[in-house]
Amino acid sequence: MAKRRFISFKEFQWIVFFTILILAFIYFFVLGFIKNCVFGWPIRWDARTCWNEQIKPASEKSAEKAVDFFPQ
C-alpha cells in the first residue's frame, strides 16, 4: 500500500496564497487586455494588432525611461 503524506496547515496556506496570487495576476492581465483592446477605440479584436499598437510602444517607452535610472 502506498503511504499517504498529508500536508500541514502551513503548507496548505502557502499553496492557497500562491494560487490566489497567480489567479489574480491572470485575471487583471486578461481584464486589462480586454478593456484596452476590445472596449478601447478603435475596437481591435486581433491580439497581435493590439499588441503592436498599444502594449509594445508602451513597453519600449518604459524601457527607455528605465535606462536613465541605471548607473553608468
pLDDT surpassing 80 at residue 39: no
pLDDT surpassing 70 at residue 53: yes
- Percent pLDDT > 90 in the chain is 19
pTM for this one? 0.48
CA distance 56 to 13: 37
1 lies in a domain? no
Mean pLDDT of 17-42: 83
5 lies in a domain? no
CA distance 63 to 71: 15
The number of distinct structural domains making up the chain is 1
Mean pLDDT score across all residues of the chain? 78
DSSP designation for 69: T
Range of the domain at 30: 11-63
Mean pLDDT of 53-66: 74
